[in-house]
Amino acid sequence: MVTCVNDAMFPETGKAVVALLRRLGVDVEFPAAQTCCAQPMVNTGYLDEAVPVVRTFVDAFAGFDAIVTPSGSCAGSARHQHGIVARRSGDAGLAVAVAETSPKVYELTEFLVDVLGVVDVGAYFPHRVTYHPTCHSLRMLGVGDRPSRLLAAVRGLRMVDLPSAEECCGFGGTFALKNADTSIAMGADKARHVRSTGAEVMVAGDNSCLMHVGGILSRQRSGVRVMHLAEILASTEDAPFGAVVGGAR
């Protein structure tokens, strides 16, 4: 599951996941029928609107061993919210299908560490990096230190701790628009903490959060770049990020 945000806005992240998983010997498929996990509808209160989207999801992913996604938030949505949507629909068939797909959904770092059993993915990224644990990967999924362990094994990477790392960046889906002032105030504090680390790159496992903080960092002309974790893990000495995925972002 590449996610709608990555599909439409951040295709390089999807390409990085494909490159990384293939390098690790995984047979990767992108079911073309996939669209979105329905989280934007569910979290804004539009449960009826979410029903056909969840139906599309379970149809697209039926039959796969594992559904891997570079987003803690979308994985959380599939694992914790699809059941709520199915119950709302009153469609027993949908509930059964959701019960089939939901447990097979993995956030990328869960899949790498728990299913593939790797921590060193052979990546090379010679830069100063700070990591922001996104709320849904941290608290809804409980990915714990998996991302940090994966990053620690990347050759050349210098990790700098982010102050108040576990505090929300303020994205929050439609919260970023409905309560834009509060969202920006939270994001500005996150950006301040990121800049205080002196890191070249802020990394996280959710591009929507990165789009928010990255948008603020860019407006501030901070020079700090935001990157999805998958892009760093995909990067190797022979094929540094960019070359791996075919061109600059």
Partner 1 sequence: MTGTFVGMPAFPVAARAALGDTQLRHNLAHATGVIRAKRAAVVGEVDNWEDLRLAGAAVKERALLDLATHLEELERTLVAGGAAVHWARDAAEANAIVVGIAQGHGVDEVVKVKSMVTQEIDLNGALAAAGIAAWETDLAELIVQLGGDLPSHILVPAIHRNRAEVREIFLREMAGAGRPAPADLTDEPAMLAAAARAQLREKFLRAKVGVSGANFAVSETGTLVVVESEGNGRMCLTLPEVLISVVGIEKVVPTWAELDPLLRLLPRSSTGERMNPYTSTWSGVTPGDGPQEVHVVLLDNGRTRALADQVGRQALRCIRCSACLNVCPVYERTGGHAYGSVYPGPIGAILNPLMQGTGDKQVDSLPYASSLCGACFEVCPVRIDIPEVLVHLRSKVVDAHRTDTVPSAEAVAMKGAAWAFSDARRLGRAERASGVAGRVMKRMFGVSLPGGRSASGKLPGPGGAWTSARDLPAPPAESFRAWWQRVGRLGRQGGGGS
Minimum gap (Å) between residue 87 Cβ and partner 1: 11
Task: Please report whether residue 182 would count as binding partner 1 according to CB under 8 A.
Answer: yes
Minimum gap (Å) between residue 96 Cβ and partner 1: 20
Of 201, 205, 200, the closest CA to residue 230 belongs to 205
Q: What angle do CA 219, 207, 249 make, to 5 degrees?
A: 70
Task: Please report whether residue 103 would count as binding partner 1 according to CB under 8 A.
Answer: no
Task: Please report whether residue 154 would count as binding partner 1 according to CB under 8 A.
Answer: no
Minimum gap (Å) between residue 159 Cβ and partner 1: 19
Residues binding partner 1: number (CB under 8 A): 94
Q: Which stretch binds partner 1 (CB under 8 A): 45-53, 102-110, 124-132, 149-157?
A: 45-53
Q: Are 97 and 58 in contact (CB under 8 A)?
A: yes
Task: Please report whether residue 62 would count as binding partner 1 according to CB under 8 A.
Answer: no
Task: Please report whether residue 228 would count as binding partner 1 according to CB under 8 A.
Answer: no
User: Nearer Cβ to partner 1, position 119 or 184?
Assistant: 184
**Cα within 13 Å of Cα(185), Cβ side:** 4
Provide φ and ψ at 158, rounded to 5°.
-110, 115
Task: Please report whether residue 136 would count as binding partner 1 according to CB under 8 A.
Answer: yes
Q: Do strands 225-228 and 201-204 pair parallel, antiparallel, or not at all (unpaired)?
A: parallel
Q: Which stretch binds partner 1 (CB under 8 A): 61-69, 96-104, 150-158, 178-186?
A: 178-186
Q: State which of residues 64, 118, 185, 196 lies at the interface with partner 1 (CB under 8 A).
A: 185
Reading the block at residue 154, the tokens are 């990347």
Q: Which stretch binds partner 1 (CB under 8 A): 93-101, 104-112, 153-161, 164-172?
A: 164-172
Minimum gap (Å) between residue 114 Cβ and partner 1: 21
Q: What angle do CA 244, 148, 242 make, to 5 degrees?
A: 15
Task: Please report whether residue 112 would count as binding partner 1 according to CB under 8 A.
Answer: no
Q: Which stretch binds partner 1 (CB under 8 A): 97-105, 106-114, 146-154, 183-191?
A: 183-191
Contacts with partner 1, 3-42, as mask; x by CB under 8 A? -x-xxxxxxx-xx--xxx-xx-x----x-xxxxx-x-xxx
User: Nearer Cβ to partner 1, position 38 or 151?
Assistant: 38
